[in-house]
Structure 1
Amino acid sequence: MKAQRKTICTQLLERFTHDGEHFLRSIITGDESWVHHYDPESKMQSIQYRHKNSSAPKKFKVVASARKVLLTIFWDMEGIVHIEFLEQGTTINSERYVSTLRTLKG
């Protein structure tokens, strides 16, 4: 395993030496993580009219819901290139993965 990683790293360094920044611009990487989903109130939604002598209403902390979504994000050296949200219970099979890769290749 270590030997394979070393070989791949050496190949990547050789490509960088040969192609420079053009090679770096061709790299896209990604990651995924389960995140809590919630719908925060907008500033307008949270406005409450009150009498000038009354105290301000209590604001409750926004808590994350029990619902989670799988956040999948891809980026290159310039920034984010693609974001996907998958509902809990959704599986990433080969068809889904190929579809995402086609979107990235776009």
Structure 2
Amino acid sequence: MATYIKEWSKLEVRAVVRFLFSKGTKPSEIHKQIAETYGEGAMSRSRVYQWCTWFGEGRTSLGDEPKSGRPKTSTNEENTTRVDELIRCDRRIKIREIALKLEIPKSTVHEIVHDTLGYRKVCARWVPKMLTEDHKLQRVEISQRLLQRCQQDNGDEDTTHIGVGPGGDFQANNNLFDNLITGDETWVHLNTPETKRDSMTWKHPSSPVTKKFKVQRSAAKVMATVFWDAKGVILLDILPQGQCINAARY
């Protein structure tokens, strides 16, 4: 398994960019290889493109060009390390919180976070349920037993009898899947307002502004349980308001 090069210098990374660029490698691929070898914080995508542009214009120096005016002292290795440590301790920390803790400008923190360290703030992916390893193993075992049952009904151990048809439907050489029944339960609110997109109407530029009252989803809700098979819904059961599904009800 490949590991990052933990100790590197800016000149080393720039030299690698120059080498790959001279070989005709595209900037996007150069950034990918740099990130895979040195880590995301070695050089941002925009900086890779900038250095490729400079090398294409004939630049040979790997060092920083002398700058006029007041030097930037906040964006240094010490602050970069401290910012990285704060983010690793709290992945939800905000730019302004980092700036207050380190007593440096927010613009500097933004540059360190996005350009130097290459961080992006993203949302976690919503999943229906957080499954444990035991849950996953149980699902695998049940799926394997179901597959074995299908093979036994076919009278053949060859799994090629089961596959995905032209229309994307799961197919088998027997009626096993036609006999399967599954079910689930969900809360159903007694009043679900239409979405903003649902309420959109066609208008001319000169038409008056349309107004509507803001309606919230009702707090009153009931538990609905539905069972179905390959032919459609078999049972739809709605509990009285305030009651929940339990083992006895199932």
Q: Where is the strand percentage greater, Structure 1 or Structure 2?
A: 1
Write the distance in 2 (CA, Å) between the matches of 1:35 and 1:16. 36
Note if 1:81 corresponds to 2:234.
yes
Q: Describe the shift of the 1:4–1:92 C-alpha distance in structure 2 as closer, same or farther (beyond 3 A).
A: closer
Which residue number in structure 1 is paired with residue 122 of structure 2? Answer: none
Aligned residues: CA RMSD: 2.6
Note if 1:29 corresponds to 2:175.
no
Note if 1:70 corresponds to 2:204.
no
Higher RCO by CA contacts (8 Å cutoff, separation 6 or greater): 1
Write the distance in 2 (CA, Å) between the matches of 1:30 and 1:3. 21
Contact kept in structure 2, 1:68 and 1:87, CA below 8 Å: no
User: Alignment partner of 1:87: what SS?
Assistant: coil
Deviation at 1:93, TM superposition (A): 3.0
Write the distance in 2 (CA, Å) between the matches of 1:10 and 1:94. 26
Superposed, which structure 2 residues align to 1:37-76 within 5 Å?
A: 37=190, 65-76=218-229
Amino acid at match of 1:25: D
Deviation at 1:95, TM superposition (A): 2.2
Which residue number in structure 1 is paired with residue 99 of structure 2? Answer: none
User: Alignment partner of 1:25: what SS?
Assistant: helix
Deviation at 1:78, TM superposition (A): 0.9
Contact kept in structure 2, 1:29 and 1:74, CA below 8 Å: yes
Q: Which runs of 5+ in 1 are unaligned?
A: 39-59, 98-106
Task: State which of 146, 150, 153 in structure 2 corresponds to 1:12.
Answer: 146
Write the distance in 2 (CA, Å) between the matches of 1:7 and 1:91. 29
Write the distance in 2 (CA, Å) between the matches of 1:84 and 1:3. 31
Aligned residues: 77
For normalisation by structure 1, the TM-score amounts to 0.56
Deviation at 1:64, TM superposition (A): 5.5
State percent identity of aligned pairs. 45
1:45-75 deviation line (CA, Å, top 9, x unaligned): xxxxxxxxxxxxxxx9x98644211111111
Which protein has the larger Cα radius of gyration, Structure 1 or Structure 2? 2
Which residue number in structure 1 is paired with residue 137 of structure 2? Answer: 3
